[in-house]
Structure 1
Amino acid sequence: MTLHDLSHQLWAGMPKIPILPEVERHQIASMADGAPLDISSITLALHVGTHVDAPSHAVPGGASIDEIPLERFHGRAVVASVDRKPGEEITVDDVLAGGPEPQRGDFLVLHTGWGERFTSEEYGDHPSLSVELARWVVERGIPFVGVDMITPDLPVHRRGPDFAFDVHRTLLGADVLIAENLTGLVPLAGGHALLRAFPLAVRGGDAGPARIVAEELPS
């Protein structure tokens, strides 16, 4: 069995959206200074790096990340490869052309290539899911969507004053979980994978940092 790590590492000063605080790493105790053990801490917003959004992120009264059953984070996924430019919308046709047709219960992971740009200035200007695609996901009975971008919605700098996060609200409002900032999807693109996307069970959390891994499956 070969596992593919789809998660970005965490480090101080790593990329994030402007509204979030910087990731900080602190050395609490060090053997180099005479302590018996090395102990460090990290401070990060729940939406930095690879993570899973809970419904409470966009839905008042929605489930928090610790309230979601473990079974919801494990399943067969279609990894669709799509080729869209910054600001363009990813459509249903793009998904169907990019891999096997998702069946009810399948997860859907979108490989756009942006995961490999995580540390570049280009990363913040990415494609987005169309609202029609989000509605199709709900109608199709797909319970989990993963993207190798900051968000499935429009990039921050392309949003107008009345921006309503329609993709987030459509998916999370229908209890479809969202994983963001995936990477390492190239070997899986265009096929099936067994996805394990277990987030930290942050009590009351609107998201959970996650180590997401996948195993390639025969299509």
Structure 2
Amino acid sequence: MAQWIDISQPLSNQIAHWPGDTPFQYQLTASMVETNSVNIGNIQTSLHIGTHIDAPYHFSKNGKTVDQLPLEPYIGKAVVLDVSRTDIINAAVLSQMNWSNDIKRVLLHTSLPNNPTRFPEALPYLDPDIAPFLQAQGVVLLGVDMPSVDAPDSKDLSTHHALSKHGILILENLLLDTVPIGEYELIALPLAIQGADGSPVRAVIRPIKKEEKLHGK
């Protein structure tokens, strides 16, 4: 049986955080020497650290929070697509890709070199027109190897809103640099944090069929 592949950024005190947001910090607050039985750790972090999901409440005051989201979009068949040959990813680019009709989760390997310890100055552009295209294919989850589906300086978050409008949930900051294109089983469950606008996830994939030439028809 194929082995699970971890595609999530490991959380550490060195992981990059969104500029101005709360960095991740882990510390041991009580040691076995002190308690005579256990080590006890503590973390402080933004919910949008490392590999994470955005709940619609993150960018819409009336959007659903993490605990209100269905679990099904985060579990099931997914396809990894290589769009690293362009810095503009739109419906025309995605229309050149092939994947099985029963795959409802798309993970994009972009041109952004993935360095978990450095927040990038610029990101490849995800055109909002991908949202209606993906919806027409039955896609319910879009994952990217970038910290956001919009530019770091975006205020209108047009791609966030377009994806949400078309029923597509968002998974960000995946590690896909060494993952072959192909079809996989995905598990990327958010934590059940009541009222939250996002959540870190442990995203893992397992191959479900041999690698295919999915970069073009």
TM-score by structure 2 length?
A: 0.86
Residue 31 of structure 2 is aligned to residue 39 of structure 1 = no
Runs of 4+ in 1 over 3 A off after TM superposition: 32-35, 101-105
Q: More helix per residue: 1 or 2?
A: 1
Give the match for residue 23 of structure 1: 24
Give the match for residue 200 of structure 2. 209
Unaligned runs of 5+ in 2: 213-217
Tell me which residue corresponds to 1:91: 90
Distance 1:173 1:96, change over 3 A: closer
Report what 1:192 is aligned to. 183
> Which whole-Å CA distance do the structure 2 matches of 1:80 and 1:27 have between them?
40
RMSD: 2.1
Contact map agreement 1:78 1:100 (CA 8 A) in 2:
no
Q: Distance in 2 between matches of 1:42 and 1:113?
A: 32
2:131–2:163 Cα contact (<8 Å) kept: yes
Per the normalisation by structure 1, the TM-score is: 0.85
CA contact (8 A) 1:4 1:184 kept: no
Aligned length: 209
Structure 1 residue aligned with 2:117 = 119
Matched residues in 2 for 1:138 and 1:59: separation? 20
* 1:67 positional shift: 1.5
Which whole-Å deviations, capped at 9, do the CAs of 1:81-108 have from their partners, x for residues lacking one?
A: 01256xx3212233344x5236365111
User: Is there any run of 5+ residues in structure 1 with no aligned partner, and where?
Assistant: none
Query: Alpha-carbon deviation of 1:68?
Result: 1.7
* Aligned-partner SS, 1:164: coil
Task: Report % sequence identity.
Answer: 30
The one-letter code sitting in structure 2 at the alignment partner of 1:172 is S
State the match for 1:176 in structure 2: 168
Query: What secondary structure does 1:27 align onto?
Result: strand
Three-state SS of the structure 2 residue aligned to 1:211 is coil
Provide the rounded CA distance (Å) in 2 between the counterparts of 1:124 and 1:180: 16
- In 1, Cα distance between the equivalents of 2:67 and 2:178? 30
Q: Which moved more, 1:5-14 or 1:180-189?
A: 180-189
